[in-house]
Amino acid sequence: MNGHRFSDPSMERGNHTLITEFVLQGVSSFREHQLGLFVVFLALYVVTLAGNAVIVTIIRTDPHLHTPCTSS
């Protein structure tokens, strides 16, 4: 070993791949399930947004949560 984490020099350059989109393969073939899947993912999204809103609201209303927790 030459002291590097990777022995292959091509792996040391890093990954410069730019991904701008992705496609879920196979979901569009289930036409009868599209509405159900949409509702499930929409519900998960709304629950996530609501949970985040609750966390932000609690932090803003409780003065004890305005300072970071430090471990000494």
Task: List average pLDDT for each run of 10 residues in the chain, which is 72 residues long.
Answer: 55 76 72 87 97 96 87 65
* Residue 55, domain extent: 32-62
The reported pLDDT for the residue numbered 44 is 97
The total of structural domains in the chain comes to 1
Domain assignment present for 5? no
How far, in Å, CA of 68 to CA of 66, rounded? 7
How far, in Å, CA of 13 to CA of 4, rounded? 12
Residue carrying structure tokens 């792996």: 11
Domain assignment present for 49? yes
Count H helices, E strands: the chain? Answer: 1, 0
Domain assignment present for 27? no
Domain assignment present for 72? no
Domain assignment present for 4? no
Domain assignment present for 39? yes
How far, in Å, CA of 44 to CA of 69, rounded? 30
Domain assignment present for 24? no
The reported pLDDT for the residue numbered 58 is 95
